[in-house]
């Protein structure tokens, strides 16, 4: 049986007479505008289970797509499945719009599909993955060199909520590498400056800004509801504190550090994978002496270096949220900017780790300033 081909105007007339108009495009296509009153069901979904949308096989079914090709194929499939009255709209939505026929449009959904269209074209992400990013919470300690690129790309990617904790203010010396901030915001709290920049980039993202120094007293409040935690700190006491809290709360921690022309990053996921994945203490049971690891103010840092490491941290956070690919858990990635080389070091869980050893109860938070000073 041949498929009946009809004009958009005829489809509208028959819809108003009781016909069922079905737009078989994908949801992100329909969001930009669709025939008023049409049911939205992607072609694949319709063909796999037509009864869910069209229980009456004697109904007047009118199928519409963008230009007419997909609706024609869907109509052929419905006829083969036993539907008696199926028509395909010639010219599809393109012709429907050109003829000025009634349209419906959800501006909120249209913005979502438009903004993240390149993500949703990736089969590994799709709409389901983008919705997962939208529902995710990432806690970031530090809104400086590492936090700037990481937060910027997480906001661009559509991570729904970004929690920022940093008690510092913007200084002119920060601007060589901390790209969230501007000369006009010197003296402003970094988390507020970051909130302004990230909201301007993506107003859909919620930025929870805490101008606080992270301590054992507030760490669980700041990271407790996060799906992923990013370490953008620049000192050892905070790194050990974050590690211990993430082990206790079973949160994946995306680690990053920079020094002069070199950087490194990893994922510490010991809280969820006791005895299998290492934590930060498995790598550094004790902090190095201060002279072996001076901070950026003391040793300097190439301005673009935190950008490279921060982007790698953002990449790992997105992969963890989407459960895509192979995370850096159990691997330490080193980057040398001068030679433009990456190298990788394998990491193992320490069976005697004081925090993450399998079966070991959490020992409690310590005085991390004193712990680092003592070594």
Residue 13, domain member (yes or no): yes
Domain final residue, candidates 74, 106, 138 = 106
- Note the pLDDT tens digit of each residue in 12-47: 999 999 999 999 998 888 887 899 999 999 999 999
Q: For residue 114, is it within any domain?
A: no
pLDDT of 293 reads 57
Give the pLDDT confidence of 138-150 residue by residue, as tens digits.
999 999 999 999 9
349 with 308, same domain? yes
Q: Which of 106, 127, 162 is the last residue of a domain?
A: 106
Does residue 296 carry a catalytic annotation? Answer: yes
> Looking at the structure, do residues 185 and 265 belong to the same domain, yes or no?
yes
Query: Is 70 found in the same domain as 133?
Result: no
Q: Is the pLDDT of residue 157 over 60?
A: yes
Residue 106 has pLDDT above 90, yes or no: no
Q: How confident is the model at residue 83 (pLDDT cuts 50, 70, 90)?
A: very high
Whether residues 74 and 182 fall in one domain = no
Domain boundary among 83, 106, 129: 106
Tokens matching residue 194: 């970051």
Which listed residue (65, 296, 353, 372) is catalytic?
Answer: 296
d(CA 27, CA 52): 17
Same domain membership, residue 219 and residue 99: no
Q: What is the mean pLDDT of the chain?
A: 94
Q: Do 97 and 148 sit in the same domain of this protein? A: no
Task: Tell me, yes or no, whether 173 and 302 share the same domain.
Answer: yes
Please indicate, yes or no, whether residues 288 and 368 belong to a single structural domain of this protein: yes
Pairing type for strands 331-336 and 341-346 reads antiparallel
Query: What pLDDT, on a 0 to 100 scale, did the predictor assign at position 375?
Result: 66
Say if 327 falls within a structural domain: yes
Same domain assignment for residues 227 and 367: yes
| 101 and 124 inside one domain | no
Q: What percent of the chain has pLDDT over 70?
A: 97
Asked if residue 111 belongs to a domain, the reply is no
Helix ranges, 202-325 (H)? 219-223, 236-249, 280-283, 296-299, 305-322
User: Which whole number is the average pLDDT over 339-361?
Assistant: 95
**In the prediction, which pLDDT does 31 show?**
82
> Given pLDDT bands bounded at 50, 70 and 90, which one contains residue 109?
confident
Residue 58 belongs to some domain of the structure: yes
Q: Residue 84 belongs to what domain range?
A: 4-106
What is the DSSP annotation of 158-193? T-SEEEEE---B--GGGGGT-TT--GGGTTSBHHHH
218: in domain: yes
Q: What is the pLDDT of residue 289?
A: 67
Q: What pTM did the predictor assign?
A: 0.81
Looking at the structure, do residues 135 and 45 belong to the same domain, yes or no? Answer: no
So what's the pLDDT on residue 105?
Answer: 81
Local confidence band at 286 (pLDDT 50, 70, 90 cut-offs) = confident
Count Cα atoms within 13 angstroms, Cβ side, for 207: 24
| Total of domains in the chain | 2
Indicate whether 30 and 177 sit together in one domain: no
The CATH number given to whatever domain includes residue 349 is 3.40.50.720
What CATH number has the domain bearing residue 93?
3.40.250.10
pLDDT tens digits, 258-267: 999 999 999 9
Lowest mean pLDDT among 96-105, 118-127, 252-261, 282-291: 282-291
Structure tokens at 287: 């902090």
């Amino acid at each position: 049986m041949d498929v009946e081909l009809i004009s958009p105007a005829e489809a509208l007339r028959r819809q108003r007479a009781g016909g069922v108009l079905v737009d078989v495009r994908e949801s992100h296509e329909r969001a930009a505008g669709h025939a008023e009153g049409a049911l939205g069901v992607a072609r694949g979904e319709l063909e796999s289970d037509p009864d869910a949308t069209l229980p009456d096989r004697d109904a007047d079914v009118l199928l519409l797509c963008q230009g007419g090709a997909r609706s024609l194929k869907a109509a052929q499939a419905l006829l083969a499945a036993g539907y008696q009255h199926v028509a395909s709209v010639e010219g599809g939505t393109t012709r429907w719009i050109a003829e000025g026929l009634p349209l419906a449009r959800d501006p909120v959904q249209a913005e979502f599909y438009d903004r993240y269209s390149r993500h949703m074209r990736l089969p590994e992400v799709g709409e389901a993955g983008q919705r997962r990013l939208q529902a995710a919470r990432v806690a970031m300690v530090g809104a400086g060199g590492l936090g700037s690129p990481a937060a910027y790309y997480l906001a661009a990617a559509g991570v729904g909520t970004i929690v920022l904790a940093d008690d510092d203010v913007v200084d002119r010396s920060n601007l060589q590498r901390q790209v969230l901030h501007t000369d006009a915001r010197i003296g402003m709290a970094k988390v507020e400056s970051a909130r302004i920049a990230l909201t301007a980039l993506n107003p859909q993202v919620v930025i929870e800004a805490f101008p606080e120094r992270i301590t054992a007293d507030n760490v669980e409040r700041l990271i407790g509801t996060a799906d992923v935690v990013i370490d953008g700190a620049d000192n050892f006491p905070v790194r050990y504190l974050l590690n211990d809290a993430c082990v206790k709360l079973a949160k994946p921690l995306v680690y990053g550090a920079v020094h002069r022309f070199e950087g490194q990053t990893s994922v510490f996921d010991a809280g969820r994978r006791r005895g299998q994945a290492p934590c930060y203490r498995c790598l550094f049971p004790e902090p190095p002496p201060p002279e072996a690891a001076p901070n950026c103010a003391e040793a300097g840092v190439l301005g673009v270096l935190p950008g490279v490491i921060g982007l790698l941290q953002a990449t790992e956070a997105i992969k963890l949220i989407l459960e895509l690919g192979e995370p850096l858990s159990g691997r330490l990635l080193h980057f040398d900017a001068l030679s433009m080389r990456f190298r990788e070091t394998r990491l193992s869980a320490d069976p005697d780790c004081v925090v993450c050893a399998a079966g070991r109860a959490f020992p409690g938070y310590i005085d991390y300033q004193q712990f680092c000073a003592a070594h």
